[in-house]
């Protein structure tokens, strides 16, 4: 029942009692900075179709919320879970390359969070070599992984949605200008809201 008068009258004529939907639960979602001496990377993958043109992105930030670096990588055609997986793999690889050994990875993909926590090797075969390297790297790092709702991941979500249109992998040492409103919201601890 959607609480319209037409539905109510129809149900009344049929002698059926309506069951109105429950009110949505509203969750406040906040981006939390990492502890001092640690970097936090928020990752995301984006696809346009299933499978479809895809890309992935990640944003590294310090304990004060400042951007340390960010990346966007076009992936060609793949599934959404592959794009999410690619974002985590590339983020860990960048962290290792730059010598950032204390890393907190946050993703809105429960698939990625679960396989990183369990160190599972159940990934698509074409990602197996990269994934094995990733597991080897995180075993040598002070590494944590957590889940965040998409509403709290807006900074990297905006970059990931642009990544399929990028010609080649791109790294920025500062945040691109289109990020500024989202970064400012996180920096000022402004919450986002999720309706469930």
d(CA 12, CA 6): 10
- Mean pLDDT score, 97-126: 92
pLDDT score of 99: 94
Domain membership of residue 11 (yes or no) is no
Cβ count near 60 (within 10 Å): 22
Q: Do 63 and 38 form a contact (C-beta atoms < 8 A)?
A: yes
DSSP 19: -
139-180 pLDDT tens trace: 999 999 998 876 666 777 777 777 777 888 989 888 777 666
Pairing state of beta strands 39-49 and 102-107?
parallel
Looking at the structure of the chain, the number of domains it has is 1
Q: How many percent of the chain have pLDDT more than 90? A: 41
- Mean pLDDT score, 106-111: 90
6-29 pLDDT tens trace: 877 887 788 877 666 677 777 677
Domain membership of residue 167 (yes or no) is yes
Domain membership of residue 12 (yes or no) is no
d(CA 2, CA 8): 9
Domain membership of residue 6 (yes or no) is no
Domain membership of residue 38 (yes or no) is yes
**CATH number of the CATH domain containing 124:** 3.30.420.10
75-92 as b/e: b if 16+ CB within 10 A: beebbbbbbbbbbbbbbb
Is pLDDT at 82 greater than 70 in this prediction?
Answer: yes
Domain membership of residue 10 (yes or no) is no
d(CA 65, CA 184): 9
pLDDT score of 32: 81
Q: Is the link from the previous residue into 51 a cis peptide, with omega within 30 of 0? A: yes
111 against 161, higher pLDDT: 111
Domain that holds residue 143: 24-195
d(CA 101, CA 155): 23
């Amino acid at each position: 029942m959607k609480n319209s008068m037409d539905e109510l009258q129809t149900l009344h004529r049929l002698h059926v009692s309506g069951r109105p939907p429950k009110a949505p639960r509203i969750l406040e979602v906040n981006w939390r900075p990492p502890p001092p001496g640690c970097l936090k990377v928020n990752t995301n993958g984006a696809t346009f179709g299933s499978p479809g043109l895809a890309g992935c992105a990640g944003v590294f930030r310090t304990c004060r919320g400042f951007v340390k670096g960010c990346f966007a990588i076009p992936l060609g055609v793949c599934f959404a879970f592959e794009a999410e997986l690619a974002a985590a793999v590339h983020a860990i690889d960048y962290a290792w390359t730059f010598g950032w050994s204390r890393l907190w990875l946050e993703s809105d993909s429960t698939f990625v969070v679960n396989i990183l926590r369990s160190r599972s090797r159940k990934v698509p075969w074409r990602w197996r070599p990269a994934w094995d390297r990733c597991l080897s790297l995180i075993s040598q790092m002070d590494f944590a992984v957590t889940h965040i709702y998409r509403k709290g991941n807006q900074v990297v979500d905006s970059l990931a949605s642009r990544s399929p249109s990028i010609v080649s992998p791109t790294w920025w040492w500062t945040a691109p200008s289109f990020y500024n409103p989202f970064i400012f919201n996180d920096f000022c601890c402004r919450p986002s809201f999720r309706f469930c």
